[in-house]
Amino acid sequence: MAFAGRHPILSLALVGLTLAIIYTEIARLLRGYKAVKAAELPLLINRADALVVDLSAIADFEKGHIAGSRNVIPSQFDPEGKLLAGRKQSPVVLVCRTGMASAAAARRLRKAGFEQVYWLEGGIAAWQAAGLPLVKGRA
């Protein structure tokens, strides 16, 4: 209490940061989809037959993508489309260049009733940083 009395700004900053961390963790737990790290994704693909949907622009997809992934540009991403038909109980992994567009798409899939939704944390950049291979050209 003596510290708080002598340093009110630092004390308020500590309280604010603590509340921000608690809020972030609660939001992460309640969002309904899971982050998957680049090193974990091959196991999910091989063991659970996960569908990998790459939300990169066509030109970026052709420069390099995860083997077996399917390309859909974000403006044409449709949870009710034929690519995802019949996959509501199967694992679906969303990927993009940085992880931002795929996180938004993951929220849409969860709202549409998909049960096993994942997004590649850090996107293709994280995949490359982990030293994992990319395939060039069209899938």
* 86-132 pLDDT per residue, tens: 889 999 999 999 888 888 899 899 899 999 999 999 999 999 999 99
Residues 19, 39: one domain? no
Burial (CB count within 10 angstroms: exposed 0-12, middle 13-18, buried 19+), residue 135: middle
HEC assignment per residue over the chain? CHHHHHCHHHHHHHHHHHHHHHHHHHHHHHCCCEEECCCCHHHHHHHHCCEEEECCCHHHHHHCECCCCEECCHHHCCCCCCCCCCCCCCEEEEECCCCHHHHHHHHHHHHCCCCEEEEECCHHHHHHHCCCCCECCCC
Residues 9, 74: one domain? no
Domain membership flag for residue 135: no
2: confidence class by pLDDT, cuts 50, 70, 90 = confident
Mean pLDDT of 2-23: 90
Residues 39, 26: one domain? no
Q: How far is it, in rounded angstroms, from Cα 67 to Cα 134?
A: 7
Residues 40, 70: one domain? yes
- pLDDT score recorded for residue 139: 59
3: confidence class by pLDDT, cuts 50, 70, 90 = confident
Q: What is the dihedral of CA 40, 43, 44, 50, to 10 degrees?
A: 130
Domain membership flag for residue 91: yes
Domain membership flag for residue 97: yes
Side-chain-facing half-sphere of 3: CA atoms under 13 Å: 5
Residues 12, 40: one domain? no
- pLDDT score recorded for residue 104: 86
**How many structural domains does the chain have?**
2
CATH number reported for the structural domain that contains residue 53 in this entry: 3.40.250.10
Kindly tell me if the per-residue pLDDT of 13 is higher than 70. yes
Kindly tell me if the per-residue pLDDT of 29 is higher than 90. no
Domain membership flag for residue 137: no
Q: How many CB atoms lie within 10 A of CB 129?
A: 10
Q: Which residue range(s) make up the domain with 67?
A: 33-129
Residues 94, 69: one domain? yes
Kindly tell me if the per-residue pLDDT of 62 is higher than 80. yes
Predicted TM-score (pTM) of the model is 0.77
